[in-house]
Amino acid sequence: MHPLNPLSKLLTVNVPKKFPKVLNLLNFRITEMCKVYNLEFVDLSKKKIEMDWEESKLIRTKKVVVSSNPWTSDGVDYAVIAIQKGKLWFLKFGDEKWSAVDDPKQSHFDDCVYHKGKFYAVDHRGRTVVIGSDLRAEIAASLPQHGGGHYKHLVESCGDLFLVDKHLDTEEQVWYDDDEDEDSNLPIHLKIYKLNEEKKEWEWVKTLGDRVFFVGDDCSYCVSTQDFSGLRRDCIYFCDHMFLDVNEEDENLVKICGDTGVYSLDDCMCGALATFPELSQIFWPPPAWLKPKPSDMKNE
């Protein structure tokens, strides 16, 4: 994973030779966006197991979420939810093995988050469930026509839970609401929903206000344009291999954001990050602490 772009699946290949081995964060303005977890397979000697790409695909865990506070009043320290091949798995402190979360509807789950002391998971139709240590309930039914999207992502923002519905418009056909502008030339279309827990449904929203979403398989988070300059309100940054060809035209940008794209809710425009030069400046040039010093360059 690239340190500048944790949302990307591309491997790091262009780290500077003089990349610092130690960073004193007290010297920099650092803001923690979120915490990301992953699972690694080990043998009995506690060594990491090396496997090729085809082998890893069979057992790859798409998402891992850990509770951020004690799970129960009985003193259970934490609990974990993981998604593997669309199935939910549950583990709490003290358990010796994972437990499969029973789902009568046999849904294929796309994403999960820890929100307001509970685990939420959404399937590919938009159906959303809440998972507790001994309780599991449906909190929202499927979206109309399953939302029309191919992938669902959950994002927590200002205490609310949002759903990003990603349409892959491979046949130039996507589903729109009657009062939504249609543009059949978009390769990808995103629709945003906000969870109404009282009505137990997802409500479509047209704008995010001054907020910006960063969406990925490993993590998704939200920031405000008032806190970070160089961002445009009502935009969503996300990754898709469809953007690689365009981003490769920028030899600097492709090193760190090769598969990154931007979707603007204001005008329904979508494209590779390289097509939005005013928005790509937050990624390139890299921070000064990632650049080799002039003295280091002379020694190379």
Buried b (16+ CB within 10 A) or exposed e, 120-145: bbbbbbbbbbbbeeeebeebbebbee
Task: Yes or no: say if 127 and 141 are a contact pair by the CB < 8 Å rule.
Answer: yes
User: What mean pLDDT is predicted for residues 198-223?
Assistant: 92
Amino acid 127: pLDDT: 92
pLDDT at 170 over 60: no
In whole angstroms, how far apart are CA 97 and each of 35, 76, 81, 89, 170? 24, 16, 13, 10, 41
Domains of the chain: 1-31+229-300 (no CATH), 35-226 (2.40.10.500)
Can you give the pLDDT at residue 4? 52
Q: Is the pLDDT of residue 222 over 50?
A: yes
DSSP state of 245: H
**pLDDT tens-digit series, residues 7-34:** 555 555 566 677 667 767 676 666 788 8
For residues 189 and 20, the model is more confident at 189
Q: How far apart are CA 258 and CA 273, in angstroms?
A: 8
Give whole-number Cα distances, 231 to 148, 202, 223, in Å: 28, 27, 9
Residues 39-72: tens digit of each pLDDT: 877 666 666 666 665 555 556 678 999 987 665 5
The H or E element containing residue 140 is: strand 136-140
Peptide bond into 292 cis (omega under 30): no
pLDDT computed for residue 189 by the predictor: 86
- Between 286 and 22, whose confidence is greater? 22
Write down the H helix ranges in the chain: 53-59, 244-247, 254-257, 277-280, 294-299
Q: What are phi and psi of 56, to 5 degrees?
A: -65, -30
What span, in angstroms and rounded, lies between the C-alpha atoms of 265 and 270? 9
Lookup: tokens for 180: 């939504």
Residue 230: per-residue pLDDT: 77
Give the pLDDT band (50/70/90) at residue 171: very low
Candidates 89, 93, 118, 112; CA nearest to 101 is 89
Range with top average pLDDT, 25-39, 64-78, 176-190, 264-278: 264-278
Give the pLDDT band (50/70/90) at residue 285. low
Do 61 and 83 touch, CB atoms closer than 8 A? Answer: yes
The predicted pLDDT at position 43 comes to 63
Query: Position of tokens 């160089």?
Result: 230
Query: What pLDDT score does 120 carry?
Result: 94
Q: What is the pLDDT of residue 95?
A: 84
Q: Sorting pLDDT into bands at 50, 70 and 90, what band is 247?
A: confident
* Residue 179: per-residue pLDDT: 43
Mean pLDDT, the chain, rounded, equals 77
| CA torsion angle 238 63 45 99 (round to 10) | -170
DSSP 3-state of 86: coil
